[in-house]
Amino acid sequence: MPYTITTKRQEWGKRVFSNVWLPIIRGVFKLNARFADRNGRTPKWLNRVTGAVFRAVWVSYDGVFKRVFGDGERTVGGKGEEVGGGRTGTRAGGEETVGRTEDGKGDGGGKDGNENGGGEEGNGLYGL
């Protein structure tokens, strides 16, 4: 089962995480494409930069994002924990949920049937 955002905190985490890290990751990918040789190998300095960026991504996730915005690697909760069944509801712990019906599907508010227009399901950090 793919990762599914189930709370507003996770949705905000996805947005903030994406705005912080995706421009940097795209830049690293562009550098890798620019400096790769015919065999796809990149210079050692660029390998170190790439590794440092991805370590920083995970350190920021583990140290900040996960604590502030909730788990972005695993779907939190399950059927029966959400109340409200529409665009928003409340979890047993008082945390608001986002765009989910009882079956875990979107409520139809966005272009693909999910509240915010899509992108909630995927793998990895906050469904990216």
Q: Does residue 111 have a pLDDT over 50?
A: no
Angle value at C-alpha 43, between 37 and 44, nearest 5 degrees: 150
% of the chain beyond a pLDDT of 70: 60
Do residues 103 and 96 touch, judged by C-beta distance below 8 A?
Answer: no
Q: pLDDT tens digit string along 50-64?
A: 999 999 999 999 999
How far is it between the farthest Cα atoms of the chain? Answer: 56
Task: Look at residue 1 in the predicted model and tell me its pLDDT.
Answer: 77
Average pLDDT, integer, range 71-92: 56
68 vs 8: CA distance, rounded Å: 12
Whole-structure pTM over 0.85, yes or no? no
Average pLDDT, integer, range 61-73: 94
